[in-house]
Structure 1
Amino acid sequence: MKSICIVKTGSTFSSTRADHEDFEDWIITRLDLTQSTPFTVNVQAGDSLPDPSQCDGIILTGSHSMVTDEHLWSQKTAQWLKDAVHQEIPLLAICYGHQLLAKSLGGVADYHTKGMEIGTVEIHLTDYIQDDLLFRELPDHIFAHTIHSQTVLELPSNAVRLAYNSHDHNHAFRIGKCAWGVQFHPEFSKEIMNSYINEIAKTEKFDADKKLSLLERSQETKESNALLKKFEDIVCLY
């Protein structure tokens, strides 16, 4: 059995967690688990990271923290990510993890000039997916769930840009052979996305029409959800 380390960089809203559990649970639900055994390391809570060589694969969760806050746990995780990439351990970094991975390797992560992106959105894939282990079986555009205020403004110099949309130029990228960052959430379901829309509406003061519009556009995202199982397959082949 292959071991997959889920690096937990935060938790969801308490109300969302009560109804749907948390980031690591959503990720595990998307895996097959007949060939892999996931274990969670909660770095935000102070858990120590294992040596990357002890992991067959790594998945970083999202977080409600901001990369630019540069918490000590986040800085330590960034250095650990550099080591994992150097060792060519298959790695998938989601949302906050995507931004932290890019920053750790020389990219720039900060607040998006257009503000928050939230909801189920269309994402376009670049021609580089044709040679990419994770993305190559996807169509030229997919739908995915998003919720982020910060983003990767500049990719690391050696990154391959894999996905974008009208809001975010860098929705997915690859570094080396097997390290990926995705700004969107392949672990989200429609119900979880709707929970986020309802929670964010309380703090962002959405008007009723905007909230209703986001909920109406919410849908299941089969292609992006499938990326987690595909990543597990890659881990098991390495």
Structure 2
Amino acid sequence: MTFGIGESVMATVRNPARGQQIWYQPGPLTTILGRALGGRIGRASGGWDIGITKVHLFPSPIFTSLKMPDSLSVVTFHRDEVWELPVNAEVLAWSDKTGVEMFRYGSHIMGIQGHPEYTKDILLHLIDRLFNRELIEESIAAEAKTKAAGSEPDREAWKKLCTAFLKGKL
């Protein structure tokens, strides 16, 4: 199977000195990125992960230098995940449901399973849309809305982290 991003990813892997930073973060693209780099992906054994999820950052000088907390909340909206990372990739974060929430490959490629750019309002709209199109059951929609009700995504912290990556500081 060929992916549209495959050539761009592989060109960057072969020649990171070109200065390109690739940040494919939306859930489906993160799994595609993992596969394009040689990892294994598939449907999550736990099914959909929809809501605002606490993502735990692995201890790292990267996060210490940015003064990141131990965990960040992010909008999650996926049912696929990276099962096995590509060789030389590093897991940066995990959640209770997903073992690879964020990874990087060298200093120029990073994937984030969640959606740091989404607000809670966008999430609630997406939940309704999935339910109305009969792509998720009512119980999953209700659970996702309940999960989202009491929290907000840490969008400013994610912005800081992603900006640092794009500036080559991770």
Cα shift readout 1:25-74 (whole Å, capped 9, x = no counterpart)? xxxxxxxxxxxxxxxxxxxxxxxxxxxxxxxxxxxxxxxxxxxxx4x5xx
CA contact (8 A) 1:123 1:165 kept: yes
Deviation at 1:209, TM superposition (A): 4.5
Q: Could you tell me which residue of structure 1 aligns to residue 22 of structure 2?
A: 91
Q: Could you tell me which residue of structure 2 aligns to residue 3 of structure 1?
A: none
Runs of 4+ in 1 over 4 A off after TM superposition: none
- Please give the residue correspondences for 1:108-127 in structure 2 after superposition, counting only pairs within 5 Å: 108-127=40-59
Q: Could you tell me which residue of structure 2 aligns to residue 46 of structure 1?
A: none
SS in 1 for 2:77: strand
Question: Structure 1 residues 225, 189: closer, same or farther in 2, change over 3 A?
Answer: farther
Residues 1:206 and 2:138 are matched in the alignment: yes
Q: Could you tell me which residue of structure 2 aligns to residue 216 of structure 1?
A: 149
Structure 2 gap ranges (5+): none
CA contact (8 A) 1:107 1:152 kept: yes
- Which 10-residue stretch deviates more, 157-166 or 78-87? 78-87
Deviation at 1:78, TM superposition (A): 1.4
Structure with the larger RCO, 1 or 2 (CA within 8 Å, 6+ apart): 2
Deviation at 1:80, TM superposition (A): 2.0
Cα shift readout 1:206-228 (whole Å, capped 9, x = no counterpart)? 23742541341352423224434
| Cα distance in 1 between the residues matched to 2:144 and 2:23 | 31
CA contact (8 A) 2:55 2:94 kept: yes
| Cα distance in 1 between the residues matched to 2:143 and 2:118 | 21
Residues 1:81 and 2:9 are matched in the alignment: yes
Residues 1:160 and 2:90 are matched in the alignment: yes
Normalised by the length of structure 1, the TM-score is: 0.60
CA contact (8 A) 2:10 2:37 kept: yes
| Cα distance in 1 between the residues matched to 2:39 and 2:90 | 12
Deviation at 1:200, TM superposition (A): 2.2
Residues 1:146 and 2:76 are matched in the alignment: yes
CA contact (8 A) 2:50 2:144 kept: no
CA contact (8 A) 2:124 2:145 kept: no
Cα shift readout 1:163-220 (whole Å, capped 9, x = no counterpart)? 0011000001111122111101111112111111222233212237425413413524
CA contact (8 A) 1:189 1:221 kept: no
Residues 1:130 and 2:64 are matched in the alignment: no
| Cα distance in 1 between the residues matched to 2:66 and 2:89 | 17
| Cα distance in 2 between the residues matched to 1:193 and 1:212 | 9
Q: Could you tell me which residue of structure 2 aligns to residue 227 of structure 1?
A: 161
| Matched residue type, 2:163 | K
| Cα distance in 2 between the residues matched to 1:220 and 1:156 | 28
Structure 1 gap ranges (5+): 1-69
| Cα distance in 1 between the residues matched to 2:93 and 2:144 | 26
SS in 2 for 1:185: coil
Q: Could you tell me which residue of structure 2 aligns to residue 169 of structure 1?
A: 99
